Amino acid sequence: MMGLAATAARRLARGPAVPEWSLLYETAARLGRARMATLDLAHAPRARAQFAELGALARLPRGVRVEPATVGGVPAEWLVPEGADGARVVVYFHGGGYVIGAPATARELAARIACAAGARALSVDYRLAPEHPFPAAVDDACAVYRALGASGIEPGHVALAGDSAGGGLALALLLRLRAAGEALPACAALLCPWVDLSDPCAEDAGLDDLPQRTIQAMARLYLGGASPQEPLASPVFGELAGLPPLLVQAGGVEVLRPQIERLAARVAAAGGEVALEVAPGMVHVWHLLAAVSPEARAAIARIGAFVRAHA
């Protein structure tokens, strides 16, 4: 309530920080930025616990069942909406800069996408840095995808999705699978994907929920000495031809927007099918604010339609 009252007073004096922001959205965005700015990345377990507090505020959509699982030796959880098409699977990779985050912190978002797509979602608990630096996350993603195929799930009925680092991981998985000559999934939805770990990301004007110093610290922890231009860490530097259809979404005021737009342009230049959507006024992974944001709900609905059309 204190955050809401302070934001309301600020808006009365100065107006909304961004024209598209409602009172509830601005309050949530400011609280999210404050929490991200205080993450103790020098102590990864503590940072994960701090981030998990944000995830605890999420609410699972009605009618969605959560089933813990291990797939390809990797912990995960199934999110199964009532009436979901059992043959269609969305493999979801959570965000968190490869350092924080878990299926629990992305549960509401992954479940909303599953509902919109009329599919089951498998949210992957891939290993995190600094304990497990690059390419551990890519190895886990690959193990999960291969295990799904071995279980009889057709690649043509699999969609990849992920937010932030999870979006970059989904794209890295596509690059590794293509290089190995393996069957690719039907499509991928990349939500504000982090695809260039070499990008210093100029500091924003205090609007986005992803501070510059947080991005840079996470990149160092994940890379563990690897080149930031290694394509499986920064997929924007990879060969982007021959990928399945991509839906790429970015927030209009997020600091990753330039690299996301660069990714979409490179995919299009390579002859790929890519749809780039930039949501005016929205912050990094605004989808997580679906409870208070009609723009987030609309973006998730478009992801669901995209998956239905291709998988």
Rounded to 5°, angle at Cα 211 from 207 and 212: 120
Place of tokens 């005016």: 280
Q: Which of 26, 77, 108, 254 is catalytic?
A: 254
**How far apart (Å, rounded) are the C-alpha atoms in residues 310 and 280?**
26
Q: State the sign of the Cα–Cα–Cα–Cα dihedral 144, 146, 152, 156.
A: positive
Q: How far lies 47's CA from each of 35, 52, 130, in Å? A: 10, 9, 12
Q: Residue 77 — φ and ψ, nearest 5°?
A: -145, 140
Helix axes 2-14, 23-37, angle to 10 degrees: 120
Q: Which of 164, 287, 295, 310 is catalytic?
A: 164
Rounded to 5°, angle at Cα 152 from 150 and 158: 95
Q: List alpha helices for the chain, DSSP H.
A: 2-14, 23-37, 44-55, 107-117, 136-150, 165-179, 212-223, 257-269, 294-310
- 20 a catalytic residue: no
DSSP assignments along 157-176, one per residue: GEEEEEETHHHHHHHHHHHH
Place of tokens 């295990």: 147
Six-digit token string for 126: 């891939």
- 310 a catalytic residue: no
- 284 a catalytic residue: yes
Q: Which of 284, 287, 293, 310 is catalytic?
A: 284
Six-digit token string for 181: 């000559």
Q: Residue 159 — φ and ψ, nearest 5°?
A: -115, 140
**How far apart (Å, rounded) are the C-alpha atoms in residues 194 and 255?**
10
Length of the chain: 311
Please identify every residue annotated as catalytic.
164, 254, 284
